[in-house]
Amino acid sequence: EIVLTQSPVTLSLSPGERATLSCRASQSVSSYLAWYQQKPGQAPRLLIYDASNRATGIPGRFSGSGSGTDFTLSISSLEPEDFAVYYCQQRSTWPLTFGGGTKVEIK
Amino acid sequence: QVQLVQSGTEVKKPGASVKVSCTASGYTFTGHYMHWVRQAPGQGLEWMGRINPNSGGTNCAQKFQGRVTMTRDTSISTAYMELSGLTSDDTAIYYCARDPKPVAGINWFDPWGQGTLVTVSS
């Protein structure tokens, strides 16, 4: 099973700042990595797939990069609605697995 | 628009089974895999398995093999996930989520249902 390790666990930032979230895989997942956003009391929402492709309707301030074992989700300028928990997920190998999440909180 | 609507909250006793439904609308139900993902309280996400609504074929995480049954009723565009032998560790929100790529699937999840809380308690 591929283990995805997200860091940091919590990121405290102010609106307008840049957020950089990391996801590291225990073995290569090529570019088969996605990012999801989850707000309290809501289901997750797909943000990025195949490491760097924004899903439909996702604002341009969200971007993803990386391949192999190291991936990054960047939010260029945090909006109030961006404070949430973010999860990465790989589809390279069964079973599909998620990282433990990074909470982006208001500083 | 694509929408997934799940059944309501369940409270079960240890050893019992639970069956969660997920009714799809806004697309061809048989054209997309349906996945099941769960989230224990305050915890992360865990993939359970997927069903091909066209063929009924399933793939399941090894952790849940023998305990989870995924089925579908194409006449009402509904997928089901039944989990047996419940313990307190199965207390979680259970989500269905559509695979966005038609037919072959791509193993991303978009969109998600609203979630069904299953509480296991004696």
Question: CA dist B75 to B28, B53, B70, B79, Å?
Answer: 11, 11, 16, 11
- Cross-chain residue pair B112–A43, CB shorter than 8 Å: yes
- pLDDT for B63 equals 95
Q: What percent of chain A has pLDDT over 90?
A: 100
Please state the rounded mean pLDDT for residues B50-63: 96
pLDDT at B93: 98
- pLDDT confidence tier of residue B67, bands split at 50, 70 and 90: very high
User: In which band, very low, low, confident or very high, does the pLDDT at A11 lie, cut at 50, 70 and 90?
Assistant: very high
Question: Contact, B64 vs B83, CB < 8 A?
Answer: yes
Closest C-alpha among B109, B115, B116 to residue B34: B109
Q: Is the pLDDT of residue B103 over 90?
A: no
3-state SS class at A96:
coil
Q: What confidence category does residue A3 fall into, taking pLDDT thresholds of 50, 70 and 90?
A: very high
The SS3 call for residue B106 is: coil
Q: Does position A83 have pLDDT exceeding 90, yes or no? A: yes
Contact check, Cβ <8 Å, B111/A46: yes
Q: Per the CB < 8 Å rule, is B44 touching A100?
A: yes
User: How does the average pLDDT of chain A come out, rounded?
Assistant: 97
Mean pLDDT value across residues B80-88: 98
Q: Is the pLDDT of residue B90 over 90?
A: yes
Question: What is d(CA B20, CA B86) in angstroms, rounded to the nearest whole number?
Answer: 13
Q: Which residue of A has its CA nearest to B93?
A: A43
Distance CA B5, CA B24 (A): 7
Q: Which amino acid is at B53?
A: P
Q: What is the pLDDT of residue B113?
A: 98
Residue B106 distance to chain A (closest CA, Å): 8
Q: In what order do the strands lie in the sheet with A62-67?
A: A4-7, A19-25, A70-75, A62-67
Amino acid at A51: A
**B44 vs A36: CB contact, 8 Å cut-off?**
no
CB proximity list for B55: less than 8 A, separation 6 or greater: none
Nearest to A87 among B35, B45, B108 (CB): B45
Mean pLDDT in residue range B18-22: 98
Q: Residue B103: which region, alpha, beta or left (left: phi > 0; alpha: psi -120 to 50)?
A: left
Q: Residue range B27-47: average pLDDT?
A: 97
| Local structure of B76: helix, strand or coil | helix
- Average pLDDT score over residue span B35-63: 97
pLDDT band of A87, cuts 50, 70, 90: very high
Contact A51, A36 (CB under 8 A): no
Average pLDDT, chain B: 97
Kind of pairing between the strands at B92-98 and B116-120: antiparallel
CA distance B59 to chain A (A): 9
Cβ-proximal residues to B68 (8 Å cutoff; 6+ apart), any chain: B36, B48, B49, B60, B81, B82, B83, B84
pLDDT confidence band for A65 (50 / 70 / 90): very high
Q: Is B73 on the interface with A (CB under 8 A)?
A: no
